[in-house]
Chains A and B, each alone.
Chain A
Amino acid sequence: MFGYYVDLAFHSLRRNKVLTALMVLAIAVGIGASMTTLTVVHLLSGDPLPGRSQSIFYPQVDANPKNKDSSEPLDMLDYRSAVDLWTARRADRQALVVQSTVRLNSADAGKPAVMMPMLSATTDFFSMFNVPFRYGGPWSEQDDAARARVAVITDDLNQKLFAGENSVGRALRLRNSDVRIVGVLKPWRPSPQFYAVRGGRFAAGDTSDFYAKPEDVITPFFTGLDVNDGNFQQFTCWSMPPRPGHLQDSPCVWVALWVQLNDASRVASYRRFVADYAAQQQAMGRFTHAGNTRMRSLMEWLDFNGVLPSNVRLQAWLAVAFLAICLVNMVGLLLAKFLRRSGEIGLRRALGASRAAVFAQYMVESALIGFIGGVCGWLLTLAGLWFIRQQPVAYADMARLDVSMFLLTFLAAVGASLLAGALPAVRACRVMPAWQLKSL
């Protein structure tokens, strides 16, 4: 019977090609627009560290003398607090993180140097954030302490500089220092670049820069401070830094500390430790207040910063509202299409087809329209994502359809058209056979 209905449906769709095309177009455009935007939302709002994120925390203390206990502490740490907390080693893993822009000199004398973002972190960064290595591995804790001239590079940079070969042991020239490559990462693209998220509440929703690629060069934290001295940017300062770019002893916040705490008791004791540290600093006179320390988990921190750009959310809302219009539109067109065939329905009913059979026939027809609309909608989604990849936004390169969203496209298209077809099909199966036959 199902085969026969599909056959009937094809027949009916061919009968009025314009109307069919309009319906397919409506569902395709609606699905294309909503799947494009929902794919972006899906890509941007996931958990960057599945399975691990609940044990990652971002401690904050407040060295700003202009703040009070009632204020929100600044988004990053001053150098001294960060290094003190890190040196105490009270967490299961802990990493200092700072970013800067560095000049990478080419090995060939002919090529010009390029400016690129550099990440400087302590070695726990790799194990804590599950960073995958292709060659070599992270540097040791001794390297951190000894300010060793070593670096880890990304797969991208390895492709660019060394054509993808194992470059462990080779040298890079960062500004005026040579560093030895100890590790090469596998492709790694966290979404968002969670370890660098901050200041979201000041961004007025324009947070697409949180989705930038990880930095191509990663050096040990203190090595980075030496190599790129003078090129560090503060998050903010409460008075003017004496030497711009060199912030170790400045009234500025510019360092992030991430810690991993594996169970609830560790979390509680670290929270206490941070509060005690602030109280101790207040007693020493370095802090003016100690009551507003924070320790948010990774997801809480992302949430606090409102990482999902507001225009992405807005676009998703618009697209879903647009899909709703398309669906109402389709309900109307299907109703018109089905009820035009009242005579045919009357004949089928008179020949013994049950209401359920008529209903099924029209639902099959709706589903067929939905499926064709889904195929077109999938193509439109691909086009939409291509369009987003051309946009000058940090997450552009991630805008691709994954398997789950691909399946959802068809599910949504068929589901939407079944929903839209239900009312017209109910009306169609209520057609009075006798009345229709009389008027034939």
Chain B
Amino acid sequence: MSLGIMFKILRRHALMPALVLFQTALACAILCNVLFLVWQRVQPMVAPSGVAEDELVLIDQMASHVRPWTAAEVRAGELALSHVPGVRSASAALGLPMIGTTIVDYTLQSPHGAKVGVNGYFGVGLVHTLGVDLVAGRDFLPEEYRDFGVSEHSSSLPATSTAEPLIITQSLARQLFGNQPAVGKIVDVPDEPDGHGYMVVGVVRHLMRNQLTLATDGRADDTVLTAKRIGDTSMLSFAVRIDPAMREVALRGIRATIKSQFGDQLVQDFPVKISTYAERRHDALASARAALWLFAGVTLAVIVVTAIGIMGLTGFWVQRRTRHIGIQRALGARRSQVLRYFMLENLLVAGGGVVIGMALAYVANGMLMHYYELPHLPWNYLPIGGALVLLLGQLAVLGPAMRAAEVPPVVATRAV
């Protein structure tokens, strides 16, 4: 049967198709937005961390109750921790993966003017301690590290005569320099006007940032390592790389060392947090997980309700036209043709709904973005959501369409 006749029939009994259309439009609008929100939450979960996850122990919330820790105390602690049995290396650090309470952020600017906001991690030997994979260039040299602390705050440092060394990720290298090799290039930090900028000395494969809310849309790897040694500081944290076979021994040793090295001065009221990377990751992603469950629930509910609606309406629509179907069958239409007719009709109606729905999704996102600081819905979510709703429509109409195909031709001869 031609599409023209199909349209004519749909127009004549416009109410039922209009309801299906309206329903698919709403479902499509909601699903596009929910899919987008889901993806926003999933990205930080699936982004590669770049660190040796099994071997990493993170220590933070070390607050001193009398005065800031001195650089010497930090050094001694680092040394003592690296001699604990089962520990491969230890670094005092500022900013650690999966810990959002201490954040260092920079804006980097490439020579071409491309600006990228990044998180930075400070500390001696972090490339080794975190276990990141260096793919180009080199690690920092021991003499390149400069102290960073309360009394040697970076802004009050005498301006260096040369650019400071910097290690960036592959993703950053692409964003800043395109396809050119990044090692040896200079990047500016516009917020530090008197600095001489930073020179890229190394590139690592991946290193995830610790502002997890920003770890979306290809920004998860916007992280840099700078050659800074932790000087005197009031909040101290460490990254420790252990031998995973000796985890229990190492953890016990680390706890004892922290107590013996820093015990007298630690604020007793706030326990130091010593935990593995896996535990930190679990905590850091807890709220994203909760949100995912919610969105999964919403998606499921929307799908079920829409499917029920389409099935109910089409079922009735088929029942009303039982006699027409019988006539068609009597005039030689095959079962498969009847089936195809109803599937195609649903595709047409749902297709109209999806087009409206995609527009609606875009408008709704615009409003949400305006009032609730949501990110912009990329256009490629629209066809994904649309295709999902079309598929849903086809599955929902399958039952009623098969029932229609079962209508025997003899119906045409009865009670006309």
Instruction: Using CB atoms and an 8 Å cutoff, list the residues of chain A in contact with chain B.
Output: 19, 22, 26, 29-30, 33, 101-103, 115, 204-206, 230-231, 239-240, 243-245, 310-311, 313-315, 317-318, 321-322, 324-326, 328-329, 331-333, 335-336, 339-340, 391-392, 427, 439
Contacts and interface: CB of A to CB of B under 8 A. Distances in A.
A240 B312 CA distance: 68
Nearest to A326: B305
Given A244-B63, A332-B23, 15 more contacts: A22-B308, A33-B298, A101-B270, A204-B373, A230-B65, A244-B234, A245-B65, A311-B291, A321-B26, A321-B29, A324-B26, A325-B27, A329-B308, A336-B316, A391-B290
26 contacts: A26-B305, A33-B298, A33-B301, A102-B269, A205-B373, A206-B287, A231-B269, A245-B65, A311-B291, A313-B372, A318-B34, A321-B26, A322-B30, A322-B305, A325-B23, A325-B26, A325-B305, A328-B19, A329-B305, A333-B312, A333-B313, A335-B15, A335-B313, A336-B312, A339-B316, A340-B316
B330 interface: no
Contacts of B234: 240, 244
Nearest to A392: B286
Nearest to B373: A205
Interface of B: 15-16, 19-20, 22-23, 26-27, 29-30, 34, 37, 63-68, 150, 153, 213, 234, 267-270, 286-287, 290-291, 294, 298, 301-302, 305-306, 308-309, 312-313, 315-316, 319-320, 364, 368, 372-374, 415
B312 A115 contact: no
- DSSP majority for the B interface? helix
9 shortest interchain CB distances as A-B pairs: A336-B316, A329-B309, A244-B234, A332-B313, A332-B19, A333-B312, A240-B150, A328-B23, A325-B26
Contact of B309 (A205, A333, A427): A333
Residue with the greatest number of chain B CB neighbours at <10 A, chosen from A318, A331, A332, A335 = A332
A329 B269 CA distance: 57
Nearest to B153: A240
- DSSP majority for the A interface? helix
A60 B119 CA distance: 32
Contact of B270 (A22, A115, A326, A339): A115
A185 to B, nearest CB: 24
Contacts of A333: 308-309, 312-313
Nearest to B63: A244
Contacts of A230: 65-66
B105 to A, nearest CB: 13
B294 A22 contact: no
B312 A325 contact: no
A204 B23 contact: no
Residue with the greatest number of chain B CB neighbours at <10 A, chosen from A103, A318, A427, A439 = A318
A243 B19 contact: no
